Amino acid sequence: MAFLNRIRCVPSAAVAALAAVTLGAAAPAPSVIKIDNFTFNAAETAVPVGTTVTWVNNDDIPHTVVAVDKSFKSKVLDTDEKFSFTFTKAGTFDYFCSIHPHMTGKVIVK
Partner 1 sequence: MSDAPNRRRVLECMGWAGTGLVWTMAGGVANSVTLDAAQAATKPKTKPFTFLQVSDSHIGFTKDPNPDARATFREAVAKIQAMPVKPDFIIHTGDITQLSKDQEFDDADQILKDAGLTVFHVPGEHDMLDEGNGKAYLDRYGKGSMGDGWYAFDHNGVHFIGLINVKQLKAGGMGHFGDDQLAWLKKDLAGRSASTPIVVFTHVPMWTVYEQWGWGTDDAAQALAMLARFGSVTVLNGHIHQVLTKTEGHVAFHTARSTAFPQPAPGSAPSPGPMKVPAGALRDTLGVRTVTYAPGTGTLAVVDAKLA
Instruction: Return residues touching partner 1 (CB under 8 A).
Output: 37-39, 59-62, 64, 68, 75-76, 78-79, 94-96, 98-102, 104
Give the dihedral sign, CA 55/37/95/91.
Answer: negative
| φ/ψ (deg, to 5) at 28 | -65, 155
Q: What's the min distance (Å) between Cβ of 103 and partner 1?
A: 8
Q: How many CA atoms lie within 13 A of 106 on its CB side?
A: 7
Identity of the residue, 37 or 86, whose beta carbon is nearer to partner 1 in the bound complex = 37
Q: What's the min distance (Å) between Cβ of 56 and partner 1?
A: 16
